[in-house]
Amino acid sequence: MQTLDGLPDDFRDLLLELADAGAEFVLVGGWAMAVHGRTRATEDLDVFVRPSPDNASRVFAALAAFGAPVEQHRVSPAVLAKSGYGYRFGVKPFLIEVLTRISGVEFDDVARDTLDVELEGRTVRVIGRLALLRNKRAAGRLKDLDDVEWLEAHHE
């Protein structure tokens, strides 16, 4: 099983709260690239959550237990239940983004093919290679296209 070496404490703590709350989530973005073998600079933690009422309640509970400023930001479970909303808090390089939609893929597609990462006795799911490629292509930023090139050159 893969590990998340070098994960900042706040990022680790949020992932643990999400896992303990039973939330459906998948790690995406730069930290997912690290799990796939490409360590590069990243300024945030990107977590893709299932946009459903039940899951939104679990995600909200995890955010509150973590200490996210959900009350001050007027974030509610209802907001997290909608596809397309993203809740961002913190400051770079410790910014956290909780996403209910990402480019090029739906949550169910991502959830079908994940890598498992062990984190303090919990399992954290990480976006699989094929979904990551689709997501990075659809995002289309230079750094994403560079990640696509790297992923294509380095098959698992």
How confident is the model at residue 1, as a pLDDT? 55
Does residue 26 register a pLDDT over 90? yes
φ, ψ of residue 48 in degrees (nearest 5) = -95, 120
How confident is the model at residue 91, as a pLDDT? 94
* Residue 51 identity (one-letter amino acid): P
Q: What mean pLDDT do residues 11-17 have? A: 98
Task: Please choose, from the candidates 104, 96, 110, 109, the residue with its C-alpha nearest in 3D space to the C-alpha of residue 62.
Answer: 96
Domains present along the chain, CATH in parentheses: 2-149 (3.30.460.40)
How confident is the model at residue 39, as a pLDDT? 85
pTM attached to this predicted model: 0.94
Q: With both helix axes pointing from N to C terminus, report the angle between 142-153 and 129-139 in degrees, rounded to the nearest 10.
A: 150
Does residue 41 register a pLDDT over 60? yes
Does residue 2 register a pLDDT over 80? no
Share of residues in the chain with pLDDT > 90 (%): 85
Q: What mean pLDDT do residues 110-136 have? A: 95
**Mean of the per-residue pLDDT values of the chain:** 93
Q: What mean pLDDT do residues 101-123 have? A: 95
- Please check whether residue 145 is in contact with residue 131, taking contact to mean a CB–CB distance below 8 angstroms: no
DSSP assigned state of 70: T
- Please check whether residue 86 is in contact with residue 44, taking contact to mean a CB–CB distance below 8 angstroms: no
Share of residues in the chain with pLDDT > 70 (%): 97
Instruction: For Cα atoms 6, 129, 146, give the angle at the middle one, nearest 5 degrees.
Output: 75
- Indicate left, alpha or beta for 31 from its phi (over 0: left) and psi (-120 to 50: alpha): alpha
Digit-coded pLDDT (tens) for 66-77: 999 999 999 999
Task: Please choose, from the candidates 138, 35, 156, the residue with its C-alpha nearest in 3D space to the C-alpha of residue 148.
Answer: 138
Does residue 156 register a pLDDT over 70? no
* Cα separation, 67 vs 69, whole angstroms: 6
Does residue 56 register a pLDDT over 60? yes
